[in-house]
Amino acid sequence: MFWKGRIASGTGNHRRLFSTSAKSSYDLIVIGGGSGGLACAKEAAQFDKKVLVLDYVKPSPKVTLHYKLMHQAALLNQSLKDAESYGWQFDLKSNTVDWRILRNAVQNHIRSLNWGHRVQLKDNKVDYLNAYGTFIDAHTLRAVGNKKEEIVHGRNIVIATGIRPKYPQIPGVEEGISSDDLFGLSHPPGKTLVVGGSYVALECAGFLSGLGFDVKVMIRSIPLRGFDQEMANIVASNLAAHGVDILWRCVPHSIVRKNGQLTAEWKSEDGKIFSDTFDTLLWAVGREPRLSSMSIDKAGVLCHPKSGKVIVDDYDKTNVENIYAIGDIQHGRLELTPVAIRSGKLLARRLFNGSKELMDYDNVPTTVFTPVEYSCVGLSEEAAVQKYGTGEIEVYHAQFSPVEFSVRQRKNENCYIKVICKRASPNKVLGIHYSGPNAGEVMQGFGVAMRCNLTMDQLLGTVGIHPTSAEELVKLRITKRFAAWTGQSVRNTRLFGT
């Protein structure tokens, strides 16, 4: 039950007095050792609180970084091709990636980060148990790990377990792997079928193709659901241009392993059955919570009936007075690592340092690391139309040619920007979208500007850094409405700096 942005407290059974006299009693117990949970725990420890982290995953998953590192490896392949145009000489015919070296390099880096987190927990005097936590009641948890069991008590408990890959209910589903498993493969993935249209699916397809593997992507409906669909289709068309075969409006039917290969059957929208053989099948059809095994019902915590995620209020509190949730496990919140980290820190400050600051879930910038990178902040065009109406918004847009592409004369059809703003003065910017090189680096600063209520006049009055792709955002002049009236092309044919 909500009241003034909060969820009303739970039943009287969950309001019992709590004693911190026991050795195994803590001011804060964090369930989950992901980015958000660790950030919350370390921040709470700064206020001299007794903190425990329960994490049964070893090592703790840091898959976001995996994707960026693999994407970087794929970009190097393109850079080698570009280098020829600048006079560098390579034997590109023999240019192949050593999967073992790549995998080990990425895994070693992740292990070093995980070790660093463990050291930071120790330095901050945060207790850590590599154990699975299940609720006994709203203040008590059973921690099970390494054949040992311990009962721990928490004045406050934070659920930060994240979400795990989900799988379709079809014959042979166990023959496929998740994106989490991909980075631990001891052998090259070879010819790969990626099932799903999420950013995880498209990022995996992109870097596997960039590393030289044959890749197909099976998308049931639309790519990048929840993102601006014009930009999503630019990403998808660029994947196709890079050699990824996209199977539109298809669903998997069955998987059979024979003689070391996988035969996948799938069904198209019109009911036709197709098949092909693959070395690897990667499931990327979404992620889901796994809370039932934690006996969360014994604590009285309410979960959303459809998503299965924890319901929280504006303060990240559940319906139970002392239990909170942060990160991907929250219902209706952004599934982004930086969001989990920020909300975890803010929660600790509210609990133990008297802060009133809440997490701002609006205008959070993010990037999809596909061959043509896509970054955005604010509303999609569809969301802006739904919220304000077509007649109340203006969409500035342009295609542009990055200077990096000029010497090799790489195609620039997929380098595109658009800014959505209100038509009425002062033309507040509602959303910024960019596809092109270094998308994340380009968008980070604009994320700050959006939090400061950026207007179109301010954007266009800004002096650009020359020669960069980012400066194209401050040179926008053509709107979709104007182009429709005049038939003018959105291609930006101006030279840099003009």
CA distances (Å), 201 to each of 133, 239, 449, in order? 30, 11, 30
187: which 2 tokens?
Answer: 């052998």
Q: Hey, which residues are catalytic here?
A: 466
HEC profile for 128-149?
Answer: EECCEEEECCCCEEEEEECCEE
Dihedral sign computed on CA atoms, order 225, 226, 229, 234: negative
**Any residues with CB less than 8 A from the CB of 77 and at least 6 apart, and which?**
95, 97, 210, 211, 212
Q: Any residues with CB less than 8 A from the CB of 404 and at least 6 apart, and which? A: 82, 437, 469
Which tokens sit at 296? 């969360």
Closest CA to 427 of 387, 454, 452, 449: 454
- Dist. CA 309–CA 332, nearest whole Å: 8
Query: Could you tell me if 494 and 474 are in contact, meaning their C-beta atoms sit under 8 angstroms apart?
Result: no
- CB of 315 closer than 8 Å to CB of 5: yes
Q: List all residues 6 or more positions away from 364 whose beta carbon is below 8 Å from its beta carbon.
A: 334, 336, 338, 339, 377, 447
Beta strands 6-7 and 140-145 are unpaired
Q: Where are the beta strands (DSSP E) in 73-186?
A: 127-129, 132-135, 140-145, 148-159, 164-165, 177-178
Q: How far, in Å, CA of 358 to CA of 362, rounded?
A: 12
Return the structure tokens found at 471.
Answer: 């400066």
